[in-house]
Amino acid sequence: MTLMPSCLEASRLLSRALDEPLGLLDQALLRVHLSMCRRCTEVERQLGSLGNLTRDVFEDDDLDDPVAAAASRPKPSSPDGA
Amino acid sequence: MQQPMPVPAHRLAESAPEIGGDIDVLRDRLLRHARQALPDAATAEDLVQDTLVDVLEGAARHRGEASLRTWATAILKHKVADWYRSPARRHRVSLEAEDERLAQAVEGDFDEAGAWRGAIPTWQQPEQAEERRQMRGAIEACLDRLPLQTGRVFVLREWLGFGTDEIGSRLGLSADNVRQILHRARMALRGCMQQRWAGPRAPS
């Protein structure tokens, strides 16, 4: 099982998957790791929301209007690698 | 060097009475964004100045589909992206000592086997406007704490939507370098948010 990524390696793959498509092997290794690791599963959620939070800060969405805030929040071009 | 013409506050107040005296607030807000995205303060000032001129000229036509601030921020975003995409410029970054220290801090999150050292508490989802405001305050504080170069790369990715390859070519970095910087930025922001947002609110 030397192929199995550690949490550190999984975190690199999680970050990379937010920016570009992962190769099939990396995707598979990451999925297996996540299926066995609750911490990395939570980190996956957190890393995803960092981008949304940052865009909120920069796009100056209206905090009092969640509908408008969600509608005006663009996803950066990111192929679905996760 | 030609001095940029400052936008007179009274002119903006005339053509955009809804912001009126808030021009300084708007300028500060835009400058904060521009400084996080650009390599030097002078360039940030120039692009914010250009943005305010556009806002001034367009304010009479701008009627409410988005707040003036949101609109101004969108104009600034285009100007920053254009600045980076201008072929006449090169914007090499060098990773400073502080970025290297960040790398060590990130490695400190993991043990020798590469497993997380500590617990990963769940982030509470903000429900009320006040909680969303607090969460935004936390991420802003965490962004401010990122080393400058690391912060810029993250902002190019998440605000401007530049991809790994484009960031690399604009900043003279390899794609692997960019991946590494983005990973460090995210790990540092995650750890900071754990302290400022999740930690105090975690049930246990």
B135: which chain A residues are within 8 Å (Cβ-Cβ)?
53
- Residue B193: name the closest of B154, B140, B142, B148 by CA: B142
Cβ distance B164 to A63 less than 8 Å, yes or no, reads no
Q: What are phi and psi of B103, to 5 degrees?
A: -60, -40
Check B189 against A50: CB less than 8 A apart.
Answer: yes
- C-alpha distance from residue B147 to each of B40, B42, B99, B184 (Å): 14, 19, 6, 10
Chain A within 8 Å of B42 (Cβ-Cβ)? no
**Predicted pLDDT of residue B68:** 80
* CA distance readout (Å), B156 to B43, B50, B83: 15, 20, 12
Closest CA to B36 of B47, B25, B49, B24: B47
Shortest Cα–Cα distance, A68 to chain B (Å): 9
pLDDT, residue A65, reads 46
Give the pLDDT of residue B64.
61
CA angle B112/B117/B119 to nearest 5° reads 160
Q: Chain B closest CA to A67's CA: distance in Å?
A: 12
Residue B153: closest CA among B109, B196, B184: B184
pLDDT for residue B9 is more than 90: no
What does the pLDDT read at residue B191? 94
Predicted pLDDT of residue B12 = 54
Write down the pLDDT at residue B121.
93
Count other Cβ atoms within 10 Å, centred on residue B103. Answer: 18
Range scoring the smallest mean pLDDT among B18-22, B86-90, B147-151, B170-174: B18-22
Residues of A in contact with B119 (CB under 8 A): 39
Q: Which residues, at least 6 apart from B138, have a Cβ–Cβ distance to it below 8 Å?
A: B192, B193, B196, B197
Q: Does B71 touch chain A (CB under 8 A)?
A: no
pTM of the complete model? 0.81
A1-17 pLDDT per residue, tens: 457 899 999 999 999 99
Please choose, from the candidates B108, B109, B139, the residue with its C-alpha nearest in 3D space to the C-alpha of residue B123.
B139
Q: How far is CA A72 from CA A58, A60, B1, in A?
A: 12, 10, 39
What proportion of chain B, given as a percentage, has pLDDT over 90? 51
- B6 — pLDDT class (breaks 50, 70, 90): low
Q: What is the ipTM of this complex?
A: 0.81
Token look-up 């400084």 returns B35
List pLDDT tens digits, range A46-71.
999 999 999 999 986 555 444 444 44
pLDDT of residue A72: 45
Q: How far is A34 from chain B (nearest CA, A)?
A: 13
pLDDT at A41 over 70: yes
Contact A15 B182 (CB under 8 A): yes
Query: What pLDDT is recorded for position B57?
Result: 83
B15 band by pLDDT with thresholds 50, 70 and 90: low
